[in-house]
Amino acid sequence: MESRQTKVAALLAELAANYVQQEANPNPLITITRADISKDYKNATIYFTTIPEKRQDDALIFLKRIGGDMRKYVMKHMRIKHIPHLDFMVDYGERHRQTIDKLVQKTGTESTFGEDTQTQ
């Protein structure tokens, strides 16, 4: 069973993605990958990636600039007692996963990501 905190974080990521889709230009393409929310629901971090990768600093500036408006958007669409303060970070974990996928494709080997590697 998912915890309330997990559900709120997932809904926050979805709302942030919808807002970015409406407000951002397609260059750079900003993708919201996930959100984390504190246990007291007062702070949330929204993680994102960009295409092209070189424009992630521009995207971070843009997201921080529209953070207040995004918070108002979340307030209108989310039924929660306290709307968290929003912070934004580049999702380096997703960026590394993409790099590994490219290397796997380039070498022609099979990925073992997500597979059980224990021998029985």
Alpha helix (H) ranges present in 43-107?
A: 56-77, 92-107
Q: If 0-12 CB within 10 Å is exposed, 13-18 middle and 19+ buried, where does residue 40 land?
A: exposed
Angle formed by the axes of helices 4-23 and 56-77, to 10°?
120
Q: Kindly state the tokens that stand for 50.
A: 């960009």
Q: How confident is the model at residue 16 (pLDDT cuts 50, 70, 90)?
A: very high
Q: Tell me 27's DSSP state.
A: S
Q: Higher confidence at residue 93 or residue 21?
A: 21
Question: 111 pLDDT exceeds 90?
Answer: no
Q: How far apart are CA 70 and CA 14, in angstroms?
A: 12
Percent with pLDDT over 90 in the chain: 62
**Mean pLDDT estimate for the chain:** 88
Question: 117 pLDDT exceeds 60?
Answer: no
Helix (H, G, I), strand (E, B) or coil at 61: helix
Q: How confident is the model at residue 45 (pLDDT cuts 50, 70, 90)?
A: very high
pLDDT of residue 119: 47
Q: In the block, which residue shows the tokens 């709120």?
A: 8
Length of the chain: 120
Q: Could you report the per-residue pLDDT of 51-84, keeping only the tens digit for each?
A: 888 899 999 999 999 999 999 999 999 988 889 9
Domains of the chain: 4-106 (3.30.300.20)
